[in-house]
Structure 1
Amino acid sequence: MNKSTGNQAALLLAVNGLYLLASVLAGTFLNVYLWKARQDYSMIGWFAFSQQVAVGLSFWLAGKWVKEHNKMNALRLGIAVSGIFYLLVLWIGDHASRYIWPLGLTLGVSIGLFWLAFNIIYFEITDARSRDHYNGWMGLLGSLTGIVGPFMSGWLISRLEGQRGYRVVFMVSLSIYAAAAVLSFWLNKRKSEGAYLWLEPWKELRRDGSGWRPVAGALLFQGVREGVFSFLIGLLVYIAAQEESRLGQFALITSAVSLLSYYAAGKWFKPRYRSAGMLAGGILLVAVMIPLLWKFSYGTLLLMGIGTSLVIPLYMLPMTSTSFDLMGESAESASKRVEYVVLRELSLMSGRLLGMLVFIGVLSVSSSTKVIIILLLCLGASPLGSWLMLRRRLRRAEAGNMP
């Protein structure tokens, strides 16, 4: 990576850091805000479901814009729509829980536009040798924003009683989104290459011997877990503690642990360890949830959160690096990087939607704490499915038979 590319990578990390900070500052308490208006697990589940529908469609439809036109504008529009979403929440106020689908779709569009453009730029400024290191830095940054954002917002919401605290937090997030958009103008405009192939994701999966088949399956299993865990864990922490400040404390502690684990992973976790690390990570992600079977409390949730933060890099780094390495295997695959990023996201989206439909279906029958914990254990075991799908590819890579 030359100096110019390194500077662009650092700048992209800075934009990403601001975007993540704004997102976790308000997003950590968004589901709690909705829950306080209407205590309904299905409502929260459908809000997350509508987001993922919009994320997947945004990736696929905006792929043409990103490949053939200006991907930097897609990045900026994603940031802008995030700001619009929180303006809508501020405007609707206490009635936000009545507009789950339009709000979820708006948030999903913002997420889709930003991460589509970000992933393409990320691919263009990294290579197979630097990707694990860069992933480590992204994890570090995510952990750092996870420490600052939720703690700050939890403190503000607790100090400013009622809806005032939430309004202040949402307004601060708007300001940070604006700063990220301004900073993005220092990123170099990336050149466009070729025409967008609308059906390439489906054609690639149907192609005999496609390396994307096991990767898409692994991503689907990843999505099954994260689709539910992304919104449910924070909500369960609030339900167990009944204080926004305790949720902020939970996020601070787990993010601090995650910062250390991602730092260590970025420094020492090498491609030759991917298969063993991924298997160990998948097993440990299940093991840290077992104490919840005996006692559901803030303490056991915190224990699970700390354990998850310690081991998640073992799973996530191979998952992220493997799919992006596949995009760069040849000049032809690199030329289709937009289509492959769309394929990657559609695979994740399919898993997330599946996990959320299972969640909504099970909780429509029973929403007891025991049922929720058992469901978490079942969905939380899906990373082992990812390892099963990728184990042969990872072992071949370790043996040096492929890049």
Structure 2
Amino acid sequence: MYNKSMTSKAKFLLAVAMLFSAGNSVASTFINVFLMRSTHNSIDLVIWQSILNYLILLIAFVSGTRLLSKLSITKIFRLGIIAQALYYVIILIMRNNLLPFIVPLGIFSGLGQGLYWFSLNLLIGDIVTEDNQAKFFSYQQMMGFIFGIVVPALSGFLIVRMGGLSGYYVLFAISIFLFLFGIFLIKNISGFKTEKKMNILGVLKLRGNRYWDSNAILSFSMGFKGVLNSLIFVLFAYLIFKNESTMGNLGSFQAILSAISSLIFARLFQKSHTRMMYFITCSLSFLTFVFLALFANPIMMITGYVIFGIIQSWGSAIANAMNYRLSTRGGNGFSQREYIVASEFPIALGRVLGLLLALLLTQILPSALTAYRFLFIATGLMWMLEFIIIDYKVKWLKND
């Protein structure tokens, strides 16, 4: 049985989300390598920027709940994308004078991501039906992967060919353009009301609710895995290959696989497939991270690019769709929106703890490569632990 198609507002919301995802995909390919080079290979500054980013993200979420009484949800949505664009605008303006501003830059990315995801979560709950949410997230990712097909290889070529940091600036300029286009399209999803008051603290204090407990665990794991993967995977590849062009070509190949995988997933996925696909994704992720840690060589790195290219979109789409399904069933006097917004707090906690673990290991272990190996093992174990706990907790909603 096929799901009903999305409404026009849902499609415009998807377009904005796809552009934001594409902008981040284009920039994030080499952002951590760029920051490392800008700080003379100081991973500490990069980690501290990320920690500030996620702390500001939480403040932005709390601020979003207050801003709802004064601004429409679409205006908050627009402000988030503007702040994210400013992050890259400042990089382009400061260029060689960026070093003193590396850590403070986390304020702009944190504010941008916080307001953006706060608004998007509420807009999806209002506009996109439950049956279409996994499809929504899969198409959203597909756009990022499509842009990631050409740009990483081109950028990697430019970085190596032009020397210095010029190739990075090309990437960031493209991202800014995509963000601005998304801001322009937001006008097509205005004209509806959302809740003005939310009791987020009440949700965070809730105990004994299996849906919220499951959502909190899932969200924490998403944050922990996500931040370590985004921070470490590219830097690990850089240590292995020491060539941005090679990394760009592999990133483009991964994006091709991800785009195809996302499209197939969006077209064929049904809710009844959730547990099976979730288990496959968690198991393959666990094995890949462990083997990357044990065999830190180019062949295993290429294998990692291939496997993650196929399954990365599955895990993200399933986790995001599960967030909404669990939030809908939470009850206890709280709305779906309150659960969705509250879930960002365990996500941020997972990210901060993941970054602190990375900071600790890079300080106490003899080399960055050794630290990255331990972090890969921790990420792989988190995938399997997440599946086991969630599988036990939700019973796959059999009683609903």
Normalising by the residue count of structure 1, what TM-score does the alignment of the two structures yield? 0.89
Cα displacement (A) at 1:58: 1.1
String of CA shifts for 1:6-48, please: whole Å, max 9, x gaps.
Answer: 2122211211222222222223222111211321222222222
**2:27 is aligned with 1:12:** no
**2:152 maps to which residue?**
150
Assess if the C-alpha contact under 8 Å between 1:25 and 1:152 holds in 2.
no
Q: Return 144-153 or 112-121, whichever deviates more.
A: 144-153
**1:125 maps to which residue?**
127
- How many residue pairs are counted as aligned between the two chains? 396
Match of 1:79 among 78, 81, 92: 81
- Quick one: structure 1 residues 359 and 73, their matched pair in 2 at CA, closer, same or farther if it must change by over 3 Å? same
Aligned equivalents of 2:44 and 2:238: distance in 1? Answer: 17
- Quick one: structure 1 residues 381 and 305, their matched pair in 2 at CA, closer, same or farther if it must change by over 3 Å? farther
Please list, as runs of the form range in 1=range in 2, the aligned pairs for 1:237-386 lying within 5 A after superposition. Answer: 237-293=237-293, 295-329=295-329, 336-366=335-365, 367-386=367-386
Off by >6 Å, runs of 4+ in structure 1: 330-333
String of CA shifts for 1:139-193, please: whole Å, max 9, x gaps.
Answer: 3223223224433433443443323333333233222222211121222233132
- Quick one: structure 1 residues 352 and 126, their matched pair in 2 at CA, closer, same or farther if it must change by over 3 Å? same
- Quick one: structure 1 residues 297 and 47, their matched pair in 2 at CA, closer, same or farther if it must change by over 3 Å? farther
Provide the secondary structure at the position in 2 that maps to 1:51: helix
Cα displacement (A) at 1:359: 1.0
Provide the secondary structure at the position in 2 that maps to 1:192: coil
Please list, as runs of the form range in 1=range in 2, the aligned pairs for 1:224-239 lying within 5 A after superposition. Answer: 224-239=224-239
Assess if the C-alpha contact under 8 Å between 2:200 and 2:342 holds in 1.
no
Assess if the C-alpha contact under 8 Å between 1:89 and 1:96 holds in 2.
yes
Assess if the C-alpha contact under 8 Å between 2:20 and 2:81 holds in 1.
yes
- Quick one: structure 1 residues 133 and 177, their matched pair in 2 at CA, closer, same or farther if it must change by over 3 Å? closer
* Residue type at the aligned position of 1:344: S
String of CA shifts for 1:243-301, please: whole Å, max 9, x gaps.
Answer: 22222212211111112222232233332232233233212102123443454234322
Please list, as runs of the form range in 1=range in 2, the aligned pairs for 1:10-159 lying within 5 A after superposition. Answer: 10-37=11-38, 38-66=40-68, 69-159=71-161
Provide the secondary structure at the position in 1 that maps to 2:104: helix
* Residue type at the aligned position of 2:140: M
* Residue type at the aligned position of 1:24: S
Cα displacement (A) at 1:348: 0.8
Aligned equivalents of 2:88 and 2:252: distance in 1? Answer: 23
- Quick one: structure 1 residues 194 and 44, their matched pair in 2 at CA, closer, same or farther if it must change by over 3 Å? closer
Normalising by the residue count of structure 2, what TM-score does the alignment of the two structures yield? 0.90
Q: Return 177-186 or 86-95, whichever deviates more.
A: 86-95
Cα displacement (A) at 1:67: 6.6
Aligned equivalents of 1:164 and 1:377: distance in 2? Answer: 35
String of CA shifts for 1:102-155, please: whole Å, max 9, x gaps.
Answer: 111211111111111112111212222222222332232232232244334334
Assess if the C-alpha contact under 8 Å between 1:79 and 1:110 holds in 2.
yes
Provide the secondary structure at the position in 1 that maps to 2:209: coil
- Quick one: structure 1 residues 178 and 361, their matched pair in 2 at CA, closer, same or farther if it must change by over 3 Å? same
* Residue type at the aligned position of 2:145: S
Assess if the C-alpha contact under 8 Å between 1:119 and 1:341 holds in 2.
yes
Assess if the C-alpha contact under 8 Å between 2:27 and 2:175 holds in 1.
yes
Cα displacement (A) at 1:2: 7.3
**2:191 maps to which residue?**
189
Cα displacement (A) at 1:73: 0.8
Cα displacement (A) at 1:376: 0.9
Assess if the C-alpha contact under 8 Å between 1:74 and 1:117 holds in 2.
yes
Provide the secondary structure at the position in 2 that maps to 1:211: helix
* Residue type at the aligned position of 1:146: G
Aligned equivalents of 2:84 and 2:315: distance in 1? Answer: 29
String of CA shifts for 1:65-89, please: whole Å, max 9, x gaps.
Answer: 2476311111111111122111211
- Quick one: structure 1 residues 15 and 94, their matched pair in 2 at CA, closer, same or farther if it must change by over 3 Å? same
Q: Return 324-333 or 140-149, whichever deviates more.
A: 324-333
